[in-house]
């Protein structure tokens, strides 16, 4: 059994992680922390876990984590993981960090996009960006895995096949992304108050979302050169799901070429499904599952390519991917505990 600790257990990614770990046949939860609810039981805060996970929530004191823990998941807010990860590594734990704190390689980007000075910038180069479909080999031996962001996961999986085969005109990438509300976290705010959030659709942080540097860094790595993208996130009145619609121009290929490029790239990848025409991805078809569904269309009238990717932001976009990374790290079958299809 893999012995795990979860820091920041009561936020949505923490809760989803515990849901998945609870159903994972090889994982055992030994330690849960929550600053706001320390002293109560996990099921007091999230009563759906009554009878399932009734463990006590501890304060986030690293010395309280039992030494026989194998891996620590950090589901803490951005800016907090930074401060605790070095001590976790110091105690010899493997760390899978679900925040953005170790995803960017250039420390200056934290200042620019997150308004933070990174206190342990030297760790940024050793952290492995935990997107298994791209970096599986590095993940196997990582000490610290930076689990990708939800939007970046959908975008990187959508574009990787075309980028590694150098088919894309890199100046043309435009990403129009849409997310369910759970992506905004668990704290009540006016914009997520039911009467003002349901039956509403809007864009937000147009051309300024903090996932942009992560997207550009990782797309650039795949392309082998720097690039810039236009990225517009939108809020959909639903709990779960991201759908990214991506526009780009290619160096002269046909729809068939494009599909075979995707098939080549994703053959054998258990969690990426390339959807054949005329079908298209829908967020409900991946809800609660670790799948990423992809489709590609050539708009012959304008010679543009449209790639569409759907994931569940809390699963493949966060906690499911974290479990997938854990499975790789501990050399158990990658789909262990992640086999469930979407629910209605």
> Is residue 42 involved in binding its own copies (CB under 8 A)?
no
Among 111, 174, 251, 263, binds its own copies (CB under 8 A): 174
Contact 153, 159 (CB under 8 A): no
Residues 123-152 interacting with its own copies (rule: CB under 8 A): none
Between 150-164 and 212-223, two packed helices, what is the crossing angle to 10 degrees? Answer: 20
Contact 266, 161 (CB under 8 A): yes
Distance (Å, whole) CA 106 – CA 127? 12
Least CB distance to its own copies at residue 273 (A): 5
> Binding marks (x or -) toward its own copies, 254..293, rule CB under 8 A?
----------------x--x-x---xxxxxxxxxxx-x-x
- Catalytic member of 52, 74, 150, 292: 150
Residues 223-242 interacting with its own copies (rule: CB under 8 A): 228-230, 232, 234, 236-241
> Is residue 111 involved in binding its own copies (CB under 8 A)?
no
> Is residue 304 involved in binding its own copies (CB under 8 A)?
yes
Least CB distance to its own copies at residue 168 (A): 15
> Is residue 51 involved in binding its own copies (CB under 8 A)?
yes
Distance (Å, whole) CA 140 – CA 330? 8
Can you tell me which residue has the tokens 């690039």? 227
> Is residue 77 involved in binding its own copies (CB under 8 A)?
no
Pairing of strands 242-248, 27-33: unpaired
Among 39, 204, 224, 333, binds its own copies (CB under 8 A): 204
Query: DSSP class of residue 284?
Result: G
> Is residue 12 involved in binding its own copies (CB under 8 A)?
yes
With 0-12 CB in 10 A as exposed, 13-18 as middle and 19+ as buried, what is 225?
exposed
Least CB distance to its own copies at residue 278 (A): 9
Stretch that binds its own copies, among 33-41, 102-110, 115-123, 187-195 (CB under 8 A): 187-195
Least CB distance to its own copies at residue 235 (A): 9
> Is residue 202 involved in binding its own copies (CB under 8 A)?
yes
Distance (Å, whole) CA 147 – CA 95? 10
Among 66, 90, 195, 268, binds its own copies (CB under 8 A): 195
Structure tokens at 105: 């390689």
Output 63 or 199, the one with its CB closest to its own copies. 199
For residue 74, indicate whether it is catalytic: no
Structure tokens at 270: 């258990």
**Count of residues of this chain found to bind its own copies when the rule CB under 8 A is applied:** 87
Find the Cα–Cα–Cα–Cα dihedral 330, 158, 184, 39, rounded to 10°: 0
Distance (Å, whole) CA 84 – CA 89? 9
Residue numbers annotated as active site: 150
């Amino acid at each position: 059994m893999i012995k795990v600790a979860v820091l920041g257990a009561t936020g949505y990614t923490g809760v989803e992680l515990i849901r998945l770990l609870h159903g994972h046949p090889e994982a055992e939860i030994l330690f849960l922390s929550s600053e706001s609810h320390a002293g109560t039981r996990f099921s007091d805060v999230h009563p759906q876990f009554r009878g399932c996970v009734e463990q006590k929530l501890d304060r986030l004191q690293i010395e309280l984590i039992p030494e026989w823990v194998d891996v620590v998941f950090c589901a803490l807010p951005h800016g907090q993981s930074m401060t605790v990860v070095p001590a976790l590594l110091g105690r010899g734990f493997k760390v899978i960090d679900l925040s953005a704190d170790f995803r960017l390689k250039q420390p200056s980007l934290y200042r620019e996009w997150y308004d933070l000075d990174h206190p342990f910038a030297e760790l940024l180069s050793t952290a492995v960006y935990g997107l298994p479909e791209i970096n599986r080999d590095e993940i196997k031996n990582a000490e610290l895995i930076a689990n990708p962001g939800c939007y970046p996961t959908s975008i990187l999986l959508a574009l990787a096949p075309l980028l590694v085969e150098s088919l894309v005109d890199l100046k043309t990438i435009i990403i129009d992304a849409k997310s369910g509300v759970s992506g905004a976290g668990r704290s009540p705010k006016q914009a997520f108050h039911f009467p003002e959030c349901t039956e509403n659709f809007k864009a937000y942080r147009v051309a300024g979302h903090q996932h942009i540097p992560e997207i550009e860094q990782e797309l650039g790595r795949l392309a082998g050169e720097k690039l810039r993208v236009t990225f517009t996130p939108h809020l959909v009145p639903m709990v779960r799901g991201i759908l990214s619609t991506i526009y780009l121009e290619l160096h002269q290929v046909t729809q068939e070429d494009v599909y075979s490029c995707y098939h080549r790239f994703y053959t054998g990848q258990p969690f990426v499904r390339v959807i054949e025409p005329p079908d298209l991805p829908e967020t409900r078809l991946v809800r609660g599952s670790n799948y990423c569904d992809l489709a590609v269309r050539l708009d012959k009238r304008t010679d543009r390519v449209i790639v569409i990717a759907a994931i569940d932001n809390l699963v493949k976009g966060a906690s499911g991917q974290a479990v997938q990374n854990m499975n790789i790290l501990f050399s158990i079958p990658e789909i262990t505990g992640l086999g469930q299809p979407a629910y209605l």
